[in-house]
Chain A
Amino acid sequence: MSLDKKQVKEIAYLARLSIEDVELEQSTSELNNILSLMDDLNEIDTGDVEPMAHPLHMSQRLRDDEVTEENLAEEFQAIAPKIGKSHFLVPTVIE
């Protein structure tokens, strides 16, 4: 599997990464190098191996349903670019 420049541009847009046209050639070839490593991995016969969703052979720890967090709104809002009375403010998003 390999990607062309158009696909790389689309992926960059979805990830909100800005890639200049001059960088596009290099990014595409770097990504394709990584993908070719995946092709190498795909050649290994994993028929007898159970698929894993995580490299650790462990299961998720669960926490009790208790409120443990205090209200730190002031601290969080102090570093926000713009706040209103109690809301975070962002440029208008229209549906």
Chain B
Amino acid sequence: MTWETVIGLEIHTQLKTKSKIFSGASTEFGAKANTQACAVDLGFPGVLPVLNKEAVRMALRFGLAVNATINKHSIFARKNYFYPDLPKGYQISQFEIPIVGNGAIDIPLDNGEKKMVGITRAHLEEDAGKSIHDLYDDYTAIDLNRAGTPLLEIVSDPDMSNAKEAVAYAKKIHALVQYIDICDGNMQEGSFRCDANVSVRRAGEGLGTRAEIKNINSFKFLEKAINLEVERQIDILEDGGSVAQETRLYDSIKNETRSMRSKEEANDYRYFPDPDLLPVVIDDELLKEIKDRLPELPTEKKARFIDKLGLSEYDAENLTSQKAMADYYEIIIDKGADVKLSANWVMGELSASLNKNQIDIQDSPISASELFNLISRITDNTISGKIAKDVFRLMWDEKRSVDEIIKDQGLEQMTDVGALESSH
């Protein structure tokens, strides 16, 4: 029996605003519990939410970056459920008319081709607070600092057919939101969170029942969680059972997904338009201004790397896959280094060392201008490419400059004919 997998992702991105979506409380991460939760965030009687302009602009930036329909008239709704970290008893979200409608993004496939993944919608909403279950024996502790933090929830079409594609899509969105500077992309701090809707079907049949997997906080776990869930559903169906439509929690320690029963009875959210908030109207002038100010997008940067720098499709895709890596590479190129040699060093030696030590490129112990110096010493024939790798190691370990290392170790190549002759 051949099984097909159908995956859609819901990605919650925390927007990089200074203040909350409906209040003037700070969104800064890591503050003492409940010191950044004001009367609006706590849902006190008589308070009124007022929408943050910057959150709206950031949502529009995303919409324009994925060529989406912008709803010039969008509505906030109340999503009703009871949970201690949601003081009002409802989350302000968008339901019927989200600010961003249909769009699409291309993802790279393993075979070098690309696939277009549809974006169903992206809507603005407020985050809930945090429940901490292991701080007190007999109580759940609630920190409402996160309550009211602006989120853009990006919902994909069910266009992905395996875990690898889902990861490729998530990485594309992750890179894009950093390119357009609306989200810091920090998955450990929960600024970028994925939920996966997974179902399987026999080849050629209609859609199967889906399960929603929550609590996935890394790309590695996203792949694992989806593969586990696909296996679980196929096992059930092959044994003649049926898959329940439910929310499941991914447990990265036990490497399993399990049912979140508490969410089951709550899936009737009884959405209705929030009477505290008027419709959001976007005028053409604002839209044009945001469009004009949109930074170079990853696809545009990639095209420029291919057309203007003469890089291969593969190199250009790789270098633009993270904004910080593209920035690093461009510093080197702007100083006049050889484009292909620089690409090889950034994607090769540097990336390998960063991966091995689990360091982000923005925290690299070797700065872009230091790597430029090393590459220059290769192109001016001071050292060979092979020696350069040894110098790179020393730069990484000892944080010394290229020229210092070359001098100390006596690594200059003898390329001057006169010097060669006189040494005989």
**A-to-B contact residues, CB < 8 Å:** 14-16, 53-54, 56, 58-69, 71-73, 76-77, 82, 84-95
Which one, B51-59, B288-296, B351-359, B399-407, is touching chain A? B51-59
Please name all residues of chain B whose beta carbon is closer than 8 Å to the beta carbon of A72 when the two chains form the complex. 38-39
Q: How far is the CB of A41 from chain B (nearest CB, A)?
A: 16
One of A53, A90, A95 near B139 (C-beta < 8 A):
A90
The tally of residues in B whose CB lies under 8 Å from a CB in A reads 54
User: Are A88 and B279 neighbours in the complex by a CB distance under 8 Å?
Assistant: no
**B156 shortest CB reach to chain A, Å:** 25
Query: Given A65-B18, A87-B141, A95-B262, list of 17 further CB < 8 A pairs?
Result: A56-B278, A60-B51, A60-B281, A62-B52, A63-B52, A65-B17, A65-B53, A66-B18, A67-B19, A67-B25, A69-B23, A69-B25, A73-B37, A76-B42, A86-B35, A88-B84, A89-B142
Chain B residues engaging chain A, CB cutoff 8 angstroms: 17-19, 23-26, 32-39, 42, 50-56, 75, 80, 82-84, 96-97, 131-133, 135-136, 138-144, 249, 260, 262, 268, 270, 273, 275, 277-281
CB-based nearest A residue for B132:
A87
- Do the beta carbons of B51 and A59 come within 8 Å of each other? no
27 A-B pairs within 8 Å (CB atoms) are namely A14-B268, A16-B82, A53-B97, A54-B275, A60-B277, A61-B51, A61-B278, A63-B52, A64-B53, A65-B53, A65-B55, A66-B18, A66-B19, A67-B19, A68-B19, A69-B38, A71-B35, A73-B37, A84-B135, A88-B34, A88-B84, A89-B136, A89-B141, A91-B140, A92-B139, A93-B262, A95-B249
Tell me the interface secondary structure of chain B in the complex: loop
The answer, among A14, A59, A89, for a CB contact under 8 Å with B280, is A59
Cα separation A66 to B273 with both chains bound (whole Å): 26
Q: Are B139 and A76 in contact (CB under 8 A)?
A: no
Known contacts A87-B142, A92-B139, A93-B84; is-contact A65 B278 (Cβ 8 Å):
no
> A87 contacts B34, CB within 8 Å?
yes
The reply to whether B34 and A89 form a contact with Cβ atoms under 8 Å apart is no
Query: Which residues of chain A come closer than 8 Å to B39, judged between CB atoms?
Result: 72, 76
Looking across the interface, which residue of chain B has its beta carbon closest to that of A77? B34
A43 CB → nearest B CB, Å: 22
Asked whether, in the complex, the Cβ of B53 is within 8 Å of the Cβ of A84, the reply is no
A76-B24 in contact (CB<8A): no
Q: Decide: B50 and A53 in contact? CB cutoff 8 A.
A: no
Which of the residues B133, B144, B278 comes within 8 Å of A58, measured between beta carbons?
B278
Residues of chain B within 8 A of A61, CB atoms compared: 50-51, 278
* Chain B residues whose CB sits within 8 angstroms of the CB of A15 once the complex forms: 80
Q: How far is the CA of A67 from the CA of B83 in the complex (A)?
A: 27
* Inter-chain contacts of B96 with A (CB < 8 A): 53
